[in-house]
Amino acid sequence: MHTLSELKSGKLSGIQHLTLSENLTSFPLEILSLADTLEILDLSNNELTSLPKELAQLRKLKILFASNNHFETLPEALGQCASLEMIGFKSNKIGHVPENSLPTELRWLILTDNQISTLPDSLGERPRLQKLALAGNRLTQLPQTLAQSKNLELVRISANQLAECPDQLLNLPKLAWLAFSGNPFSLSDENTHSVPEIPSSSYSLQEILGRGASGIISKAHWNEQPSNFPDEIAVKVFKGQITSDGYPKDELQACLKAGHHPNLVKSLAQVNESGYLALLMELIPSHYSNLGLPPCFQSCTRDNFPLGFTLTIEQIEKIVTQMKSVFAHIHLNQVCHGDLYAHNALFDEEANIIVGDFGAATMYHMLNETQQQQIKQIEQRALNHFIDDLLSICTTEDRLSKKYLQLREQSRTA
């Protein structure tokens, strides 16, 4: 985090990444003095409503975040930034996205949790677009021009007002991660009761195990342990608001509809009280660790792994076999995970995996047969990428093995 006084004094001269959060109501023009070096500008958590046309002077600017401000219109100045690739305006009050507000080099657009009802045709005329986050708006339709988005790989359109399935997305050649729950076209009267409901007074939360977009997972101990329940449990308490992937209640229903599988986090019970939604799960043994790391700015949609981390081809083959089984199981139950990634899987030394995080999951039994097949094909691409990403960390001595070549071929032809 930097300060405005540091910027004005010249202490920040030559920096590439600037973060300012000081309840700013106007864009500090001193930022323009960084035009020769600035690549990432984060103005989130301020009180901004506009950006000046001079923004285009930041000729090296690639990434701009302005979440949690008071913008009502996506600034047209963005469209004049020649190098700008990533734009994040989450949780503003944006209701209008002008045709010329989207830069020509756009790869990654985040407009989650705004008030947008329509988007310009120019969105589909940005050939480098890979990642599009639009959950939690008021969209009633998507531009037909998105059918041209041949490089689009990840889309979040949950929690909108789309009355029809956006078919222009379903045939995109690279789309692999799609979340669309919480729209009129994807509403379901199905209320899954695969696990019992229990009162929140049955347990007490202990240390936090993890935080996600949709809630917090904590270890818990029983106050009143139901019969046939394990001693050790974890509880995910969902946030009450829209997340980057959609509504928490949709995540819960998709998770329950996916059902039980040896490689899925096991659901035990749900809590559905006024203002309190939670899922009780078996506690994952402590010897499990994350299989991958989330995408970074550079990789955009693909997983990362710790430096130096490798797997043998035997480990990769075992992990892939398990993930294929998970894939077949959830799609048999007409659930699309929407976030099939290594960073959403845990593994142990014996290459056993447990898959979780149904935040982007969507039930799709309400779609027609053709659309259902298209949804499955989209997630098949995610599975292929999962295999490819694991092969990228295969030990050097195994890269000419028959198993390696077979897996690589499978990931390209499935």
Looking up residue 170, the CATH number of its domain turns out to be 3.80.10.10
Which residue range forms the structural domain that includes residue 342?
A: 289-413
| pLDDT band of 22, cuts 50, 70, 90 | very high
Q: What's residue 235's pLDDT?
A: 96
> In terms of domains, do 211 and 323 share one?
no
DSSP state of 212: -
Is 293 within the bounds of a domain?
yes
Is 311 within the bounds of a domain?
yes
> In terms of domains, do 133 and 171 share one?
yes
Give the residue from 147, 98, 101 showing the smallest Cα distance to 127.
147
d(CA 205, CA 207): 7
Domain end position, chosen among 186, 209, 228: 186
Is 195 within the bounds of a domain?
no
> In terms of domains, do 231 and 259 share one?
yes
Q: What's residue 138's pLDDT?
A: 97
Q: What's residue 110's pLDDT?
A: 98
> In terms of domains, do 372 and 227 share one?
no
Q: 129, 154 in Cβ contact below 8 A?
A: no
Q: What's residue 211's pLDDT?
A: 85
> In terms of domains, do 252 and 396 share one?
no
pLDDT in tens, 264-319: 999 999 999 988 999 999 999 999 999 999 999 889 999 999 999 999 999 999 99
Q: Looking at the predicted structure, is the pLDDT value of residue 406 above 70?
A: yes
Q: What's residue 192's pLDDT?
A: 66
Q: What's residue 248's pLDDT?
A: 87
Is 348 within the bounds of a domain?
yes
The total number of structural domains in the chain stands at 3
pLDDT in tens, 124-168: 999 999 999 999 999 999 999 999 999 999 999 999 999 999 999
> In terms of domains, do 142 and 26 share one?
yes
Give the residue from 163, 167, 158 showing the smallest Cα distance to 184.
163
CATH number at residue 261: 3.30.200.20
Domain end position, chosen among 133, 155, 186: 186
| pLDDT band of 414, cuts 50, 70, 90 | low
> In terms of domains, do 215 and 181 share one?
no
| pLDDT band of 1, cuts 50, 70, 90 | confident
Provide the mean pLDDT of the chain: 95
Domain end position, chosen among 158, 186, 214: 186
Q: What's residue 257's pLDDT?
A: 93
CATH number at residue 312: 1.10.510.10
How does 171-190 read in b/e, with b if 16+ C-beta sit within 10 Å? ebeebbbbbbbbbeebebee
Rounded to a whole number of angstroms, the distance between the first and last alpha carbons of the chain is 46
> In terms of domains, do 218 and 132 share one?
no
Is 238 within the bounds of a domain?
yes
60 among annotated binding-site residues: no
pLDDT in tens, 214-226: 889 999 999 999 9
Is 176 within the bounds of a domain?
yes
pLDDT in tens, 41-59: 999 999 999 999 999 999 9
d(CA 51, CA 28): 10
> In terms of domains, do 137 and 161 share one?
yes
Q: What's residue 94's pLDDT?
A: 98
Region at 58 (left for phi over 0; alpha for psi -120 to 50; beta for the rest):
beta
Q: What's residue 164's pLDDT?
A: 96
Give the residue from 154, 120, 156, 118 showing the smallest Cα distance to 139.
118
> In terms of domains, do 235 and 362 share one?
no
| Burial of 159 (C-beta count, 10 Å sphere; 0-12/13-18/19+) | buried
d(CA 412, CA 408): 7
pLDDT more than 70, % of the chain:
99
Kindly state the average pLDDT of the residues 184-206. 87
> In terms of domains, do 112 and 60 share one?
yes
- Say how many CA atoms lie within 13 Å of 273 toward its Cβ: 11
Is 192 within the bounds of a domain?
no
Is 193 within the bounds of a domain?
no
Distances (CA, A) of 297 to 4, 52, 142: 25, 25, 25
